[in-house]
């Protein structure tokens, strides 16, 4: 009888161990190959790209610079509050991504989400930060004068961030709607490592983001 009980105990321990390993496999993000990442919309560079220092401002004139990238994975998106469709759609997808990660108890302590306005003449730091936080309280919206914007955008290969001039030599912001709609990924060393390409979906963003940023 004791032998039977011992065998049952060993079987129970074995089953519990196997189930634990199975559940862990299901909940642990899978590391995707470069090709798998690309197929799912994330293009990673063979070698991370260095970027120079910069400074933008958020609500209450709070500074956001390259130093704030250190030690964190940063998702950075260039848009503007008056953008009619692409920007709010992309920001909404990012907000759904964050919700999925929270629901999975994914470690977000060293992760941040930044919206850089490409319309600094009309988006004050307070305006763009309020706009960003309208999608998620943890999102950060930042703004600065156009020379600083152009410097950072050029380093991150973000085009069409400069308004044209109309016949009255005033700035025409209408074509900003056609800016490059990619999502930038920066590593905890403050390096440009890749970009998420549209079309965006929560499932693909979640799959690729977790693969690259998992601890």
Task: Read off the pLDDT of each residue in 116-143 and give the average, rounded to a whole number.
Answer: 97
pLDDT of amino acid 126: 98
What are the structural domain ranges in the chain?
1-30, 32-213
Task: Read off the pLDDT of each residue in 163-179 and give the average, rounded to a whole number.
Answer: 50
CATH topology of domain 32-213: Glutaredoxin (3.40.30)
Round to whole Å and give the CA distance between 188 and 98.
18
Round to whole Å and give the CA distance between 164 and 99.
37
pLDDT tens for each residue of 34-87:
999 999 999 999 999 999 999 999 999 999 999 999 999 999 999 999 998 899
Name the nearest CA neighbour of 74 among 214, 213, 215, 167. 213
Residue 127 has pLDDT above 60, yes or no: yes
SS3 44: strand
pLDDT confidence tier of residue 30, bands split at 50, 70 and 90 = confident
Q: How many residues does the chain have?
A: 215
Structure tokens at 36: 């798998």
Structure tokens at 75: 């998702």
* Burial class, 88, CB count within 10 angstroms (exposed 0-12 / middle 13-18 / buried 19+): middle
Name the nearest CA neighbour of 55 among 42, 74, 68. 68
């Amino acid at each position: 009888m004791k032998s039977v009980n011992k065998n049952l105990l060993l079987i129970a321990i074995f089953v519990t161990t196997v189930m634990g390993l199975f559940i862990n496999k299901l909940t642990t993000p899978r590391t995707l190959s470069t090709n798998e990442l690309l197929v799912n919309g994330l293009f990673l560079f063979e070698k991370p790209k260095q970027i120079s220092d910069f400074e933008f401002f958020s609500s209450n004139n709070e500074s956001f610079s390259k130093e704030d990238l250190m030690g964190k994975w940063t998702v950075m998106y260039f848009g503007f509050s008056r953008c009619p469709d692409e920007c709010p759609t992309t920001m909404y997808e990012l907000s759904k991504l964050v919700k999925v990660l929270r629901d999975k108890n994914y470690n977000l302590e060293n992760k941040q989400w930044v919206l850089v306005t490409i319309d600094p003449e009309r988006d004050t730091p307070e305006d763009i930060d309020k706009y960003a936080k309208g999608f998620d309280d943890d999102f950060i919206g930042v703004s600065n004068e156009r020379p600083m914007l152009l410097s950072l955008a050029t380093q991150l290969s973000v085009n069409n961030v400069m308004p044209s001039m109309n016949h009255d030599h005033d700035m025409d912001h209408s074509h900003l709607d056609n800016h490059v709609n990619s999502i930038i990924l920066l590593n905890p060393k403050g390096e440009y490592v890749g970009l998420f390409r549209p079309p965006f979906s929560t499932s693909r963003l979640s799959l690729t983001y977790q693969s690259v940023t998992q601890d």
